[in-house]
Structure 1
Amino acid sequence: MVTLYWFLVALMAIGVIGAFVPGIPGSILIVIGIIVWGFTQGFAGLGIPLTVALLVFAASIGIDFLAAYWGVKQAGGSQWGQIGAIVGLLLGVFGLLPALPFGGPLLGLLIGPLLGAIIGELLYRRDLNLKVAAKSAIGIVVGSIVGKLIEGLLAVLAMAVFVLSTWSQVVG
């Protein structure tokens, strides 16, 4: 049982890394680890850790979208740029870019919102002012970095709540 616990903690640590690094599964690995541990222990004492992990997972999904939106808005981009960033994020992660021979969703997560914001701004302004479009794209990068930092901190919190709640079951 102790071996399984440490395996699940390692899985959750990968989830924490994934919350910081695009392209690696993040907080979902923490949720999976808690559920697996719950099945082996009858979910005793896992109400709070599971609730925190599920809330962190739901928040991380929203943060990805809001970070791109916020980044464009802070850089002075239009709603077209903001919508383009979100559409670019979706297409980059789930659409065309995963078919690439390398990079896949990671590359899509990085390039999709950038291209989406640039295309959105160019469509809105109806001219080829790449300076304004590039400024919006840079805003997305900054927003995405801030979003990943927030997601990572939340993932650390979820993992810490699990370890603190279950430590006595393993050691004691």
Structure 2
Amino acid sequence: MKFFTLLSILALTASASAATTLTMTGVHNCCGSCAKGITKAGSIGEGVTIDVPDKSTTVTITSKKKGDAMKAAEAIIAAGYFGKIEGGEPSKSASKSTASTKPEAKMTKATVSGVHLCCKKCEVAAADAVKTVSGITKSDIVAKATSFTVEGEFTKSELTAALNAAGFAGVIK
């Protein structure tokens, strides 16, 4: 009986200390500055590790506490990077529904802020993403900028989807 009790305690201890691992795929990471930015953004505290292989579009987040891995992923997205998250449940703030019964209104101009644009490669990747949106006729994306504008006739969701597909996140107003 003592043996089974000991095994139960060891199993509970092992499960309590098990790490949570999330993988973000499709993240923009063209240079060392991108990798440093991803690592810095995701390093939300003790027990969270961020693995960003050189110029890889895959980021692995490991945390000791349940929920911290998702918080780290959300911090990376808030820093201007985007990736599909595998291996975890979205937090309440990330899982709000954006579905609507009305068609989305077209925009003629938008300011996009918070996209990670540390270098010319980031600039080109973001500009290429914006060019895929039907109806956008003009953009002023430059490296190291904190925001840029786009003009034409497009929806916010089209622009968001194009940036996300290129591994970027930002705030569109």
TM-score over 0.5 for the pair? no
| TM-score, normalised by the number of residues in structure 2 | 0.25
Q: Work out which structure has the larger RCO, using CA pairs closer than 8 Å and 6 or more positions apart in sequence.
A: 1
